[in-house]
Amino acid sequence: MDAAMTYDPYEAADAAALQNDHDMLQSSSDAADATQKFFHLNDIISLTTGLLLAQEGSPALHRLAAFVMGSDADAAQTRANIETVKACLEEQLPFLADVSLGGVYPIYKIDPSPSNPYLRVWLEMQALRFGEEHAVMTFAAWQARKNQNKAAAANANGRGASRTSL
C-alpha cells in the first residue's frame, strides 16, 4: 500500500461542482452528517493505495480528502493532506490492511482505466469482501472520539485501581 500517488490538477475539471458539494456539506444543519459521511470503497482504496481506481477519478479523491480534513476539494489540498487522510482512514477502517494489491498491480499497469474489465472484477471482489460503502468520520471527529475512548479507558483503569486498594 505504499505506491506513490500523483494528482494531476487538470483532472479536477469540475472544480466548481466539487466546491459546491463541499459547501453543501459544510452548511449541513445536522451535526452527525457534518462529521460522518459514506464513501465508496473504490474511492477509499484509491486514496490509500495511490492507484486511481475511483469511478469518478481524481474528483472523488479530492472530495474524500476535503471531507476528512474540512478543506477545499482540490488537488493542492489533497496533496497537502494525503498522508494525514490516509492514516485517518486506515485507523477508522482497519480492514484496509487486508486489501491485497498483489494481483491488481499487473492489471493496473496494462490498463489503469476504470473501464478495464479485470480491474472492475477485482474491485467487485473487494466490495463483496469488505462492503461497497463505508462511513468515514472527519479527522477532527475521529481525533475527538479517540480522545474520548482514551479518557474512558483511563477512568475505568482508575476506578479499578481504587477498588483494589480498598
Contact, 70 vs 88, CB < 8 A? no
Side-chain half-sphere exposure of 44, counting CA atoms within 13 A:
29
Domain contains 77? yes
Q: Show the cell assigned to 84.
A: 494525514
Domain contains 3? no
Enter the DSSP assignment of 73. S
Domain contains 24? yes
Domain contains 152? no
Give CA–CA dist 112/57, Å, rounded: 11
Rg (CA), the chain: 19
Count up the domains in the chain and report the number: 1
Give CA–CA dist 46/61, Å, rounded: 7
- For 82-103, b/e burial (b = at least 16 CB within 10 A) is beebbebbeebbeebeebeeee
pLDDT digits (tens, 9 = 90+) for 63-118: 999 999 999 999 999 999 999 999 999 999 999 999 999 889 899 999 998 789 99
Domain contains 130? yes
pLDDT of residue 102: 87
Percent of all residues in the chain with a pLDDT value above 90, rounded to a whole number? 58
Give CA–CA dist 3/8, Å, rounded: 16
Domain contains 155? no
Residue 107: give the domain boundaries: 9-138
Enter the DSSP assignment of 124. H
Residue 9 has pLDDT above 50, yes or no: no
Give CA–CA dist 56/62, Å, rounded: 10
The more confident residue out of 20 and 57 is: 57
117-121, 125-129, 141-145, 150-154 — which is least confidently predicted? 150-154
Give CA–CA dist 72/5, Å, rounded: 19
Domain contains 164? no
Give CA–CA dist 30/73, Å, rounded: 21
Domain contains 162? no
pLDDT of residue 115: 84
Give CA–CA dist 11/57, Å, rounded: 8
**pTM of the model as a whole:** 0.73
Contact, 144 vs 92, CB < 8 A? no
pLDDT digits (tens, 9 = 90+) for 51-78: 999 989 999 999 999 999 999 999 999 9
pLDDT of residue 139: 96
